[in-house]
Amino acid sequence: MSASSQGLSHGLKQRHVTMLSIAGVIGAGLFVGSGHAIAEAGPAVLIAYAMAGLLVVLVMRMLGEMAVAAPDTGSFSTYADRAIGHWAGYIIGWLYWWFWVLVIPLEANAAATILHAWFAGVPMWAFALGITVLLTITNLFSVKNYGEFEFWFALVKVVAIVAFLAVAGAAMLGLIPGSQVSGTARLFDHGGFMPNGFGAVLGAMLTTMFTFLGTEIVTIAAAESDNPQQQITKATNSVVWRISLFYLGSIFVVTALVAWNDPQLAALGSYQRTLQLIGIPNAKAIVDVVVLVSVASCLNSALYTASRMLYSLSSRGDALKMFGDIAANGTPQKAVLGSMVVGFITVIANYLVPKEVFDILLATSGTIALLVYLVIAISQLRMRQRMEANGETPAFRMWMFPTLTWMVIVFICAVVVLMAIRPEHQVEVISTGALAVALLAVGWIRSRLYGTPWMESRPAKVATQS
């Protein structure tokens, strides 16, 4: 077990990690946001999801190779520290922490919007604050609480998707009386399979790619299980069928049954519109419940992931020493509280500051996912080269090394360039780049003040600084 994981409780059971690995990647973006991607690219959005999904499968394979060899709650941030240099682990760790802190107000607001529609007498900010406090408390007690909440959240999501696929599949076969839709003709009868051209597919890919961020959380959580190597191997191997069934399966049945240019598709969301056309009563209420569970799950994971990354940064001397403290129950409670405080500030900012200001904050996280994937690929490339130079063979290996690793690196760089030249994504690239440069400057100054290595890799744990 890595040094930065030794003090943590191993309270996650096999069923916790298994269910987290199965449904951890499923968020509200699948149930609602996918409608926007379909409206942009048409049925060819399947290609966009397949391209983004393939990238995630390959990245997870690379991350799995490193995580099986050395499970660590800092995951790819720790591996970047060891393989690329202190600066890389520092920057990607703080960027990742910031990403999940920003997820807190987004998911809290989404949950509050649904609850406010049900209980109009309670203000939205009260719901947002309440659900954030509740899930913070669960994260403070023990990692087992997080695991239990995620187990049941994930189970609801899996059951909902399987039921949706069964109902939609029956509708496609014409087995549901009264359904307004059947067959697969809508894949081609509204301007063809790719009505808006390949450029729209690339644009949709840029959007869908970020819906998969969160798959890597299982490598962070597995470090707090009894058998992290086994859990990581199982989770990584299951990525292919998870993405194929949950995402590609869902998008296929939606595009087969709902016209991509249906004006209500983007407005209502892909699941709700599909169920309406099939004739399922109370479709909105059903989807609202599933989405509420999904955003609560994502908020729960955001608090957990941010706290573990902050703890890992502290254990490596890259954050305040107090965030590396472990409570008697094996939980980094100060790291949970530290992340929660910043999360609360962003929740409040979501309601108080001008929309333009909050949008700028959100834009800073726009390309963090791509940077995470790039760092994972480069780290795996260097760590495998070192292992082979020492005559070692990893127990869990990336396919077709180094060809596929290099292909992933080139592809990610091409996507970043594509985002930089597309006007709708330029602000995200610039904002994330500016934040990364600011972190680079702060980290370099700290390294000079404390005399810690900056460009060199750090294979062993270093002393923390207050």
Domains of the chain: 14-445 (1.20.1740.10)
Sign of CA dihedral 345, 351, 353, 356: positive
Sign of CA dihedral 209, 210, 212, 217: positive
Q: What is the pLDDT of residue 465?
A: 37
C-alpha–C-alpha distance, residues 50 and 5, integer Å = 34
Please report, for residues 83, 270, 272, the alpha-carbon distance to residue 266 in angstroms, rounded to integers and kept in the order given. 43, 7, 10
30 or 288, which is more confident: 288
Q: 45-69 and 34-41 are packed helices; what angle lies between their axes, rounded to 10 degrees?
A: 130
Residues 289-305 pLDDT 10s = 999 998 888 888 888 89
Beta bridge partners of 466: none
Per the document, the length of the chain is 466
Residues 141-152 pLDDT 10s = 878 878 888 888
Beta bridge partners of 225: 12
Please report, for residues 34, 255, 277, the alpha-carbon distance to residue 273 in angstroms, rounded to integers and kept in the order given. 12, 11, 6
pLDDT, mean over the chain = 87
Residues 1-39 pLDDT 10s = 454 555 677 778 878 777 777 766 677 778 877 888 899
Beta bridge partners of 12: 225
Three-class secondary structure assignment of 75-124: HHHHHHHHHCCHHHHHHHHHHHHHHHHHHHHHHHHHHHHHHHHHCCCCCH
SS3 at position 152: helix
Amino acid at 422: R
Token couple for 415: 């996507």
Q: What is the pLDDT of residue 464?
A: 37
Give pTM, 2 decimals: 0.91
- Phi and psi dihedrals of 372, rounded to 5? -60, -50
**If we measure between CA atoms, which residue out of 91, 373, 97 comes closest to residue 210?**
373
C-alpha–C-alpha distance, residues 362 and 375, integer Å = 21
